Amino acid sequence: MVASVSVERVKDLVAKIAEPQVDYAQFSNDASGNGVLQFEENAPQFRLFGTKIHVVFGALIAGVIGLIVTMIFCVMYTFFHNRGMGRNEFIDTLELIDLIFAFFVGLPCHYALFYGIHCENKRFLSPFLIFYCTNFALNCLFSVTTLAAAFLDVQRHLFGRVRFDFGWVFFQLGFISAQGLAIYVVMKCRKYLDAKEQYRKPASEQVLNQ
């Protein structure tokens, strides 16, 4: 029962990412009184956490920070990391998988996000969301696995150092929280772009009919 509910929630999340349903009419008004609707760029729904920060600006900041962190991770692990480093080999293998995933999938997704915001095309934001949701789930799995490895280290079944294992878990928890925030902000930005795209459709149809 719990598993089926979880699967349904995952499906709903994927559906929202793939094609969010937005009532764009609520973001349009007739400010001039001549019957021409204008898109409300600064509607409260397009602000973050009740502040004046627009979702586009928030998504750009999330993308820039995410890109910098991803590049630092790739560089540090590639050139300055030695296997072993106090952790057991299993944890090192998980980090290597994370590196490959970040380099070949993560970096291109950030550039797709910037391009999508620049050309106001919501579809280019989907790779970023899919990558972060996948990475979010993997990091949760890695954290649980690392905790299990730490307890095995305590029992001397593995040969890593417990303080490195727990240090990695705390790092992952902070990283997971940041990823969750980035996912939320970019999803809000995608809904903004979707609403703006839907607003333009009737306007273009009116021009063609004239």
The CA-atom distances, in angstroms, between 32 and each of 25, 29, 37, 62, 158 are: 17, 9, 8, 36, 72
- In the 8-state DSSP scheme, what is residue 105? I
Mean pLDDT over residues 73-96, rounded? 67
Position 184 scores a pLDDT of 93
Give the contacts of 187 (CB within 8 A, at least 6 positions apart): 16, 17, 20, 129
* Cα(194)–Cα(7) distance, integer angstroms: 26
- Contact indicator for 152, 158 with CB cutoff of 8 Å: yes
Hey, how many other C-beta atoms are within 10 angstroms of the C-beta on 206? Answer: 11
Please state, in angstroms and rounded to a whole number, the distance separating the CA atoms of residues 43 and 31. 14
Paired strand residues for 54: 47
For residue 207, what pLDDT is reported?
A: 42
Mean pLDDT for the chain overall: 75
- Element holding 28 (H helix, E strand): strand 28-29
Distances (CA, A) of 53 to 43, 44, 108, 126, 200: 11, 10, 26, 22, 24
Who contacts 160 (Cβ-Cβ below 8 Å, separation ≥6)? Answer: 86, 87, 88, 91, 149, 150, 153
Average pLDDT over residues 110-117: 94
Q: Tokens 């949701």 appear where?
A: 133
Q: Looking at residue 103, what is its pLDDT?
A: 86
Instruction: Give the whole-angstrom CA distance, residue 108 versus residue 170.
Output: 27
The pLDDT assigned to 137 comes to 87
The gap between the terminal CA atoms of the chain, to the nearest Å, is 56
- Range of 79-83, 111-115, 135-139 with top mean pLDDT: 111-115
Give 149-194 pLDDT, tens digit per residue. 767 656 654 455 556 667 777 878 888 899 999 999 999 999 999 8
39 beta partners: 28
Q: In this predicted model, what pLDDT tens digit does every residue of 23-51 receive, in sequence order? A: 555 555 545 555 556 677 778 888 888 88
Domain ranges of the chain: 70-193
Nearest to 106 by CA among 138, 154, 144: 138
